[in-house]
Structure 1
Amino acid sequence: MPEGWRPAVAIAAALLGVARDAGLVTLRLPQNARQVPQDVLQRDLVRGALQFGFELGTGVRTYVSASLPYVAALAVLLANDVGTALLTGLGFALGRAVTPALRYASRAGEEWDDRLQDRLPLLAVGGGAVLAAALVVLTLRGFPAS
């Protein structure tokens, strides 16, 4: 793909992801729709979080309701920059680890799940919008430098 097109394609994908998450367009995401069982985290938080991250990150079990991970992966691919890939991977891993850690820390897992379920659409659209805005800002700043 021509280098000059890459930012526009990434931004367009982010906007498409936001539209999908907002329910404006229907687009099926590629995934192996099996969740990591909750008892993985209940047995041992640290080992469970590592197993959860490994299974999700490698695609062994990937139930992803939001477009954000797919858009981020495409943006990293288009950036063709190792630093961008590493920082995105680190951010994704930390973000994924926060969810089970917060659930565990709440000591009220079922209630926490219900509150999260109510907020998922807002989180998905908000996360996608933040990514789209970040891509625009990075593009305007010329990052990553070729």
Structure 2
Amino acid sequence: MFTCGLLAGGVLTAGVLWLLSGLFAPLPAVVRQGLIVAVVLLAALRDAGKLSLRLPQNARQIPQDVLRRHLARGALQFGFELGTGVRTYVSASAPYAIAVAVLLSGGSYAPALAVGLGFGAGRALTPALRRLSGDGERWDDLLTARLSGMTVVCSVLIAAAALTVRQ
């Protein structure tokens, strides 16, 4: 249920961004792509620790009592809220960069759907991999050591993907 909620939340957010992307259609493609690259560059610099930039986010956690009321519905709701990315912490810049890319790329809904599913699946993958590792503490340490580099790589991949999407 948690993973279903994550996927649904990610798809909803990406769908809303895709719908809003029509507002930016009058801008020339080169301007939209330039804005995407600029945002991705800021995201990469922030994640590399070269730029101090506050992310716009609802800096609070989803209350634990959501899970206590009814486990299945609570897991679905918790996952959905986490999957939307709007009611929790999002520490990396890459989700913001991909949101801007969806918003400014326009075009087909398929890339936006893939982004939403990818965001939800990525959020589901993290706790699953930690649990499968057998040693959560060691897994946390390894993730912490590699997180900055991983988020910078993600930003670069987002820029490359956004520039290849047909307008």
Could you state the TM-score of these two structures normalised by the residue count of structure 2? Answer: 0.68
**Shift, 1:93, TM fit:** 1.5
Return 5+ residue gaps in structure 2 as ranges: 1-23
The structure-2 alpha-carbon separation of the partners of 1:105 and 1:35, relative to structure 1 and needing over 3 Å to count, comes to farther
- Please tell me whether residue 3 in structure 1 is matched to residue 28 in structure 2: yes
The structure-2 alpha-carbon separation of the partners of 1:73 and 1:55, relative to structure 1 and needing over 3 Å to count, comes to same
- Please tell me whether residue 104 in structure 1 is matched to residue 131 in structure 2: yes
Pick from 106, 115, 129: which aligns with 1:88? 115
Q: What is the DSSP-based 3-state SS (H/G/I as helix, E as strand, rest coil) of the residue aligned with 1:14?
A: helix
Q: What is the DSSP-based 3-state SS (H/G/I as helix, E as strand, rest coil) of the residue aligned with 1:128?
A: helix
Q: What is the DSSP-based 3-state SS (H/G/I as helix, E as strand, rest coil) of the residue aligned with 1:31?
A: coil
The CA distance in 2 between the partners of 1:130 and 1:53, in whole Å, is: 26
Q: What RMSD, in angstroms, separates the aligned Cα atoms of the two structures?
A: 2.4
Equivalent pairs, count: 133
Could you state the TM-score of these two structures normalised by the residue count of structure 1? Answer: 0.77
- Please tell me whether residue 24 in structure 1 is matched to residue 50 in structure 2: yes
**Shift, 1:27, TM fit:** 1.0
**Shift, 1:74, TM fit:** 0.8
Q: Give matches, 1:48-87, under 5 Å.
A: 48=75, 50=76, 53-59=79-85, 61-81=87-107, 82-87=109-114
Return 5+ residue gaps in structure 1 as ranges: none
- Which residue of structure 1 aligns with residue 60 of structure 2? 34
Instruction: Give me the identity figure in percent.
Output: 53
